[in-house]
Structure 1
Amino acid sequence: MNFWSDNWVGSTSLKEACPHLFKLEKNKRCKAKDRFWRNGGSLGWAWDWHRNPSSAQEMEEWVKIFKLMNAASWKEGTDSWEWLGDKDREFSVSSVKKMLIKNKDVRNNYVMRWCKWVPAKCNIHVWRVEMNRIPTRGALERRNLSIPSIECALCEVGRESADHITTGCFVSTIVWDHISRWCKIAPIYGFSVRDMLEFHKIIKLGEIEKEVFHRIIIIGCWRIWKARNEKVFEGKEVKVEEIIGDIKVLGFLWFNKRSKYRSVDWLKWYKFDFM
């Protein structure tokens, strides 16, 4: 098991969580066993740096990596794999079959519900956003890329991140406020992309309206990101009314042509009434 590149502690690999310390590492392909020693009941760390960590960022990551190490569970013996689909931790075809029948998800990762009548580009975008895998300025800065600013390209206030653009940005806040009034529900508030994707489960709407609302959130996230890219790469002015209009028009087009509810006309869609 590679100490830096494998995702064995925390939610990501150590080279992504602590990029400045990774630069100082001499042997970037070292194993986890190469970086610690055990003497009786004591556990110590054996680092091999080009130089000792000294900058503020390096010291911050130094504290972070020790917290991760202390939170990890250590045991004697060689690395091994365990099958989480069975209480005995032993893999078998029958245990896979039982897990599939029960529709049991043994992972801790969020499982996104995809929409068939929304284009793949929108589904894929939101899937990547939920995993924080889009090239925001904050993400590029974490990868040590030289960028002129880490401020949000839409509102120019706050650090640009996937959650900020989707829920915290002034532009997205206005968009979601209009969408909530259009869909006749309470104002939409979320702190993360996942909050937005789960919001349809708690609102008081019919089943069809809930389904449509969930898809509108997906389309909205994609359209807001598209507006951000148009401003960054084309210098196009951001117009909230244009974003909202595209969400409604494109949503109706895709819903009317690609879903099973093809009898819904523009007037019903505009009034958000599918009965």
Structure 2
Amino acid sequence: MRVAERLEVDQGNGVFTWQWSRQPESEEELKEWQECKDVLSTNGFSVKAVKKSLIVERGTNHPPNFTWCKWVPIKCNITAWRGNLDRLPTRVNLRRRNVDIPSVMCPLCGDYEETVDHLFTAYSVAIRVWSAFNVWCNIPPLFFFEFKDILDSHKLIRNGIQAEKIFYGLVIIACWCIWKGRNDTGF
């Protein structure tokens, strides 16, 4: 449904109609809803304003740009790009999107919430993948704490621009393999 379809104009005034999949319940959700209503009633709605707000709210956790690797399959680039934005459908992200799932715990280890960072940096299989990756590439061990660290790891390679590009592509492919392995195990 489009935003315009939710706006009913009555005597020159726009009133938004809300069609919730579930009603806001927590104090935080109610506060965010009230802030949204306030912004819409005073400033109206524009895609440009929302985009600007999202960029400002993103902060420094995620770099604004993602470098696409032209020689790897598009599905690998998209997985890394979505991981960089924390938009992969992990259990935590699904819950955030109001998908009714029984648990946000990682179905693979059961010890932690399934987030992008957990799945690619802290999950025991991912740690073993990165360890084998380091040995295969003949580089010292790399340790990652966030998904962003994985995508920045190619900057640590000091064997020239071509080697850096190759390493970056291999990192993107390895991320896709971890994601595919998670999906194959879960489904």
Q: Give the shorter-chain TM-score range.
A: 0.5 to 0.7
Whose relative contact order is higher, 1 or 2, with alpha carbons under 8 Å and at least 6 apart? 2
Distance, in Å, in 2 between the alignment partners of 1:23 and 1:160 is 26
TM superposition shift of 1:183 = 0.7
* Aligned twin of 2:137: 183
Q: Residues 150 and 159 of structure 1 are in contact (CA less than 8 Å); yes or no, is this contact kept in structure 2?
A: yes
* Aligned twin of 2:85: 131
Post-superposition Cα deviations, 1:69-122, rounded to whole Å, max 9, x if no partner, equal: xxxxxxxxxxxx9xxxxxxxxxxxxxxxxxxxxxxxxx9743111111101111
Distance, in Å, in 1 between the alignment partners of 2:175 and 2:64 is 17
The partner residue of 1:160 within 103, 108, 114 is: 114
Matched, 1:116 2:70: yes
* Aligned twin of 2:169: 215
**Count of aligned pairs between the two proteins:** 152
Tell me the C-alpha RMSD between the 2 structures. Answer: 3.5
Distance, in Å, in 1 between the alignment partners of 2:169 and 2:186 is 26
Bigger drift between 202-211 and 172-181 goes to 202-211
Matched, 1:201 2:150: no
* SS of residue in 1 equivalent to 2:75: helix
TM superposition shift of 1:27 = 7.0
Where structure 1 has 5 or more consecutive residues not aligned to the other structure, the ranges are 1-17, 36-80, 82-106, 234-275
The partner residue of 1:32 within 18, 30, 39 is: 39
One-letter amino acid matched to 1:196 = I
Distance, in Å, in 2 between the alignment partners of 1:182 and 1:130 is 24
Distance, in Å, in 2 between the alignment partners of 1:215 and 1:229 is 21
Decide which structure has greater helix share: 2
Q: Residues 180 and 186 of structure 1 are in contact (CA less than 8 Å); yes or no, is this contact kept in structure 2?
A: yes
Distance, in Å, in 1 between the alignment partners of 2:90 and 2:167 is 26
Alignment of 1:1-275 (within 5 A): 20-21=26-27, 22=29, 30-32=37-39, 109-233=63-187
Post-superposition Cα deviations, 1:38-57, rounded to whole Å, max 9, x if no partner, equal: xxxxxxxxxxxxxxxxxxxx
Runs of 4 or more, structure 1, over 4 Å off, are 23-29
TM-score (norm 2): 0.68
Distance, in Å, in 1 between the alignment partners of 2:157 and 2:25 is 42
* Aligned twin of 2:4: none
Post-superposition Cα deviations, 1:209-249, rounded to whole Å, max 9, x if no partner, equal: 2211111110011111111111111xxxxxxxxxxxxxxxx
Post-superposition Cα deviations, 1:140-187, rounded to whole Å, max 9, x if no partner, equal: 222343222222233332110011111111110000000001111111
Where structure 2 has 5 or more consecutive residues not aligned to the other structure, the ranges are 1-23, 43-47, 49-58
Distance, in Å, in 1 between the alignment partners of 2:32 and 2:72 is 45
Residues 196 and 25 from structure 1, CA distance in 2 versus in 1: closer, same or farther, beyond 3 angstroms?
A: closer
Percent identity, aligned pairs only, is 38
Of structures 1 and 2, the larger Rg is shown by: 1
TM-score (norm 1): 0.48
